[in-house]
Amino acid sequence: MAVLLDIKNACKRYGDQVLLDEASATITDDGRVGFIGRNGAGKSTLLRLILGEEELDSGEIVRHPRLRIGYLRQHDPFLPGESALDFLMRDSGRPDWACGEVAGDFEIKGPRLTGPVAELSGGWQTRVKLAALLLHEPNLLLLDEPTNFLDLRTQILLEHFLRGYREACLIVSHDRAFLGATCDQTLDLTAGTLTTYPGKVDAFLEHQRERAAHVERTNAAVLAKRRQLEDFIARNKARASTASRAKSKARQLERLEVEEVATAAATAAIQCPKVAPRKGPAVRCRGLAIGYPDRRIAAGIDLEIEHGSRAAIVGDNGQGKTTFLRTLVGSLAPLDGELKWGYGCELGVYAQHVYTSLRDDQTVLEHLERSAAIGTKQQRILDVAGAMLFRGSGVEKRVKVLSGGERARLCLAGLLLGESNVLVLDEPGNHLDVETVDALAKALVAYEGTVVFTSHDRSFMRAVATTVIEVRDERVVNTLGDYDAYVAAVSREIDETEVAAGRGGKAAAVARGGSPRKPAGGPAARSDRELRKEIATLEKSIARLDADKKRASTALLAATDPDEAVRLHVEMTAAAEKLAAAEERWLALQEQLAAEG
């Protein structure tokens, strides 16, 4: 196991903002690391430092002599008129058969491979850039928000590739589902400190919560003891007979310290408009056809969206999700049929293009004050502004100096302050960090109006959606299932396609000139009996470790002595780490058993 990157005592600041403060971390050649942290914490800065595009103020980043970094850039590197295959061959210097095989793992074939790459959607162009990246045979992939604007099918294809890829990865993403599927280590950047956790992101976040709760309980016990000692000292220091005992207690008091835990910015406080619940259809489509004068996208649409439902519009990029949303809100006229909103429906629309209509001369606060419902308190306006990362003097910024992402967040903030009883949201989580997306999801779940939305964030979709409407093959239909059922259906389609094509990780093999990552059973093949025997042993260990963890956690909740609380926390953490490792091994063996069966 070689160390590809060794970050030592790294310091970096911009003016008064400290991004890295004596931060250290190590990435090895087998590391599959999910990199998380709040917006503005410094994740993109650290990537630029790793790439050598910026310099540290102090400290160092030691790179392995044979380190080859593959970085997914956001700009478009295509030449006018060239095809995806032409670009892949030009960019990599590899023959057409190698480029075609890697492209095929991302379903780039036929006209998409040989036609003009500039005519592909943003999601398909991202697939082409990923294929080009892999053809350079990097031994460390740096992926910065790779799922942005990727549809579900492309995300799953990328997950399949990364699970078979044998080299190291450092992935920045706000999509916990994607990180959970691709990474087995977590790197967190909070308050200038890098923390490495040998487990998946959900386990790390649970560890953080348990750690914070433990510190809170321990500090409460310490403060209670401190008050007890202070009271004893105050009552006895003036009496000669007890003065020496008071001095002893004073020394004990000096040794009592509360523990501080570095925390990120406060959790966003988001509330949707307060509206009266309603029943019946919010919108009804009958024989609806959508599209443009020169191109029909879908026809024969017959569906209803009920008041109070939260309808997720899903489908591959380029199938017509945005066209359907634009038709729903009236910015595109139907080509045929009927679309009718219910009486009293007040639509609030958030789309990526909406921010172009903002007035440049207004400040953030002025825009929000004009967008808010009559009678909205100033503090609520400031709370929503803060949730969308406009804090302190940020509310005095003028719209003309805001970036595209800031304008998008401002439009969403204004929508949340209004009085709409129907919210139509196109990718509302873009430009928001994971904690703010979680807060938005909770707010939408509590909202008593109707929500129609699209998103590429599976955790967000899973949390919010109550009904799923798919746009596919010139049709728009209610899938009559929940979001998990839709994801499972898409996964089955991809699995069947890969089996039929005889692929299953071929991109990883072509990029490396070898075979995909072996199952976690070692290089030698093992018998079915040996695998089942180890699985049975692991299941017993998992049950024992789970019981140990629960027992320590229960005892920790009741602990009042600081030393006992620390001991129990260490015991619980050790059991949790062993449990996570045992569960990972169990899953790997199950996969190997299924593959050999």
Q: Give yes or no: residues 478 and 429 share one domain.
A: yes
Whole-angstrom Cα distance, residue 552 to residue 557?
Answer: 9
Q: At 336, is the secondary structure helix, strand, or coil?
A: strand
Query: What pLDDT score was predicted for residue 523?
Result: 38
Answer yes or no: is 301 within a domain. Answer: yes
- Choose the weakest-confidence range: 103-117, 323-337, 532-546: 532-546
Q: Give yes or no: residues 197 and 326 share one domain.
A: no
Q: Give yes or no: residues 334 and 471 share one domain.
A: yes
Residue 174: both structure tokens together: 């706000």
Maximal C-alpha separation, the chain: 100
Query: What pLDDT score was predicted for residue 524?
Result: 44
Q: Give yes or no: residues 35 and 130 share one domain.
A: yes
Q: Are 67 and 4 in contact (CB under 8 A)?
A: yes
Boundary (domain end) residue, out of 204, 220, 238 = 204
pLDDT at residue 432 greater than cutoff 80: no
Query: What pLDDT score was predicted for residue 106?
Result: 80
- Mean pLDDT over 264-278 rounds to 75
Share of the chain above pLDDT 90, in %: 31
Nearest one of 274, 270, 190, 188 to 436, comparing CA atoms: 270
* Count of CB atoms situated within 10 Å of the CB of 580: 19
Query: What pLDDT score was predicted for residue 262?
Result: 55
Whole-angstrom Cα distance, residue 246 to residue 223?
Answer: 18
Q: Give yes or no: residues 478 and 540 share one domain.
A: no
pLDDT at residue 525 greater than cutoff 80: no
Range of the domain at 579: 528-596
Query: What pLDDT score was predicted for residue 10?
Result: 93
Whole-angstrom Cα distance, residue 44 to residue 54?
Answer: 11
Answer yes or no: is 354 within a domain. Answer: yes
Per the structure, the count of domains in the chain is 3
- Choose the weakest-confidence range: 18-27, 266-275, 483-492: 266-275
Q: Give yes or no: residues 20 and 166 share one domain.
A: yes
- Mean pLDDT over 226-230 rounds to 81
Answer yes or no: is 210 within a domain. Answer: no
pLDDT at residue 420 greater than cutoff 50: yes
Q: Are 316 and 153 in contact (CB under 8 A)?
A: yes
DSSP 428-456: TTTT--HHHHHHHHHHHHH--SEEEEE-S
- For residue range 20-54, list pLDDT tens digits in order: 999 999 999 888 999 998 777 888 889 999 999 99
Answer yes or no: is 314 within a domain. Answer: yes
Query: What pLDDT score was predicted for residue 236?
Result: 78
Q: Give yes or no: residues 483 and 381 share one domain.
A: yes
pLDDT at residue 510 greater than cutoff 50: no
pLDDT at residue 508 greater than cutoff 50: no
Q: pLDDT grade, residue 274 (50/70/90)?
A: confident
Answer yes or no: is 505 within a domain. Answer: no
Q: Kindly report the CA angle at 58 between 52 and 63, in degrees rounded to 5?
A: 40
- For residue range 277-336, list pLDDT tens digits in order: 999 999 999 999 999 988 999 999 999 999 999 999 999 887 889 899 999 999 899 999
Q: Give yes or no: residues 306 and 414 share one domain.
A: yes
Three-state helix/strand/coil letters over 66-79 = CCCEEECCCCCCCC
Q: pLDDT grade, residue 84 (50/70/90)?
A: very high
Which range scores top for mean pLDDT: 446-450, 503-507, 575-579?
A: 446-450
- Mean pLDDT over 369-386 rounds to 88
Q: Give yes or no: residues 54 and 198 share one domain.
A: yes
- Choose the weakest-confidence range: 127-141, 315-329, 396-410: 396-410
Answer yes or no: is 452 within a domain. Answer: yes
Answer yes or no: is 508 within a domain. Answer: no
Q: Give yes or no: residues 554 and 479 share one domain.
A: no
At residue 505, what are phi and psi to the nearest 5 degrees? 95, 15
Boundary (domain end) residue, out of 204, 225, 255 = 204
Report CA-CA distances (Å) from 421 to 313, 455, 460. 18, 20, 21
CATH number of the domain within which 568 lies: 1.20.58
Which residues, other chains included, contact 530 with Cβ-Cβ below 8 Å and sequence gap of 6+? none
Average pLDDT of the chain to the nearest whole number = 83
Gyration radius (Cα) of the chain, Å: 28
Q: pLDDT grade, residue 520 (50/70/90)?
A: very low
> pTM for the whole thing?
0.69
Boundary (domain end) residue, out of 158, 176, 204 = 204
- For residue range 544-581, list pLDDT tens digits in order: 887 888 887 777 667 666 667 667 777 877 787 788 77
- Mean pLDDT over 381-386 rounds to 88
Query: What pLDDT score was predicted for residue 64?
Result: 92
Query: What pLDDT score was predicted for residue 161?
Result: 81
Which residues, other chains included, contact 138 with Cβ-Cβ below 8 Å and sequence gap of 6+? 68, 69, 70, 167
CATH number of the domain within which 93 lies: 3.40.50.300
Q: Give yes or no: residues 380 and 486 share one domain.
A: yes
Determine the residue type at 465. Answer: A
Q: 314 forms bridges with which residues in the sheet? A: 470
Which residues, other chains included, contact 35 with Cβ-Cβ below 8 Å and sequence gap of 6+? 43, 46, 170, 171, 172, 173, 187, 189
Q: Give yes or no: residues 482 and 582 share one domain.
A: no
